[in-house]
Structure 1
Amino acid sequence: MLEHRSSHLTGLLLPLADRTLILPNVAVAELIDYQPGTFDLDSPPWYLGQVNWRDRQIPLLSFESACGGKTVIGERARIVILNTLSGRANLRFIALLVQGIPRSCKLDSQLSYVDVPLCALEQAAVQVVDQVAKIPDLLALEALLLGAGLVVE
């Protein structure tokens, strides 16, 4: 007898200062405590420097600032380490500043898209239970770093 299983994907809701992002949980490598990055003063405002993770230097970004908002480092600030998608050996992970601990949620084919303004780094917005979550464009985040010359080719 074949068992019918509906396909569910587990997502993570990432709380930012001015929005919530949603990603499949496989996109997130780890959640770490906030640490200030080391950076130059002439860096773009969205670039918060390099953070140390598993003996690697990972570029830390403020998604809000990259979308034209302000960088907020609240008392619940954490860092999410994201797996990159491009397959570049010199950019395997990106660190993203978040405001709190990501929440797990079940995603299914019933997700409904919401028509709200999006920044260039967002692909879509979806309704998840009682809130709107935005789907970030991870390849665009990588391109932002590469375009700013913050990753050595």
Structure 2
Amino acid sequence: MAHAGSLKSRLIPMQQKPLLLPASCIADVVDYSRPSGGSQENKWFLGEIDWRGQTVPLISFERINGGRFAEFSATARIAVMHSSTGNEQLPFYGMVIQGIPQELDLNAGDIQLVNETDSIAGSAETSRVTVRDIPAAIPDLEQLEQQLSALLTAA
């Protein structure tokens, strides 16, 4: 049961460090399906998938964050994300994840910022944290969505 002041969150399994997000960011988690399209110049844009009758762009967080990314694995899934910026041209987008997100009810004391000298945040992260002793990253969804929106507008 959630306590007053707790935040419903999801710990999203990734190939490198898991991502920590508010539960409200995630619209759905679906089985991985191979996207159509994609971009040779922007390898983080994997193409588009069909979700509930809509075409949704699919990204690799690891690639946009400057890390390595192996597209296919037995545990790959797609987290369909709500736009955090309210962009009407991009109401949803997909992100490849590795498995089922873990639900967490977090209180302020459950999250510690990681000292930047120990762990440099990637370009698409706002910070690195420890959540109940699990190292995680907080993604910069606004920047990520702006990059995706700019790419789709240019296409």
CA distance in 2, matches of 1:144, 1:34: 23
- The 3 A distance-change label for structure 1 pair 9 and 87 is same
Match of 1:135 among 108, 122, 138: 138
Specify the alignment match of 2:6 in structure 1.
8
State whether residues 84 and 92 of structure 1, in contact with CA within 8 Å, keep that contact through their aligned partners in structure 2: yes
Q: Secondary structure at the match of 1:106?
A: strand
Q: Secondary structure at the match of 1:23?
A: strand
The runs of at least 4 consecutive aligned structure 1 residues that moved more than 6 Å come to none
Q: What is the identity, as a one-letter code, of the residue corresponding to 1:35?
A: S
Could you say which structure has the larger radius of gyration? Answer: 1
Specify the alignment match of 1:105 in structure 2.
104
| Structure 2: runs of 5 or more not aligned | none
More helix by share: 2
Q: Secondary structure at the match of 1:150?
A: helix
Instruction: Give the TM-score taking structure 1 as reference length.
Output: 0.90
Q: Does 1:87 align with 2:86?
A: yes
CA distance in 1, matches of 2:68, 2:127: 21
- Number of residue pairs matched by the alignment: 148
- The 3 A distance-change label for structure 1 pair 142 and 41 is closer
Q: What is the identity, as a one-letter code, of the residue corresponding to 1:112?
A: Q
| Structure 1: runs of 5 or more not aligned | none
**What is the RMSD computed on CA atoms of the aligned residues?**
1.7
Instruction: Give the TM-score taking structure 2 as reference length.
Output: 0.88
Specify the alignment match of 2:24 in structure 1.
26
- The 3 A distance-change label for structure 1 pair 151 and 100 is farther
For 1:47-58, what aligned pairs fall within 5 Å after superposition?
47-58=45-56
Identity across matched positions, percent: 31
Which range moved further: 38-47 or 123-132? 38-47
Specify the alignment match of 1:78 in structure 2.
77
- The 3 A distance-change label for structure 1 pair 152 and 57 is farther
CA distance in 1, matches of 2:39, 2:20: 31
Deviations 1:81-121 (A, max 9, x none): 01112212110011000011111112111121112210121
- The 3 A distance-change label for structure 1 pair 123 and 152 is same
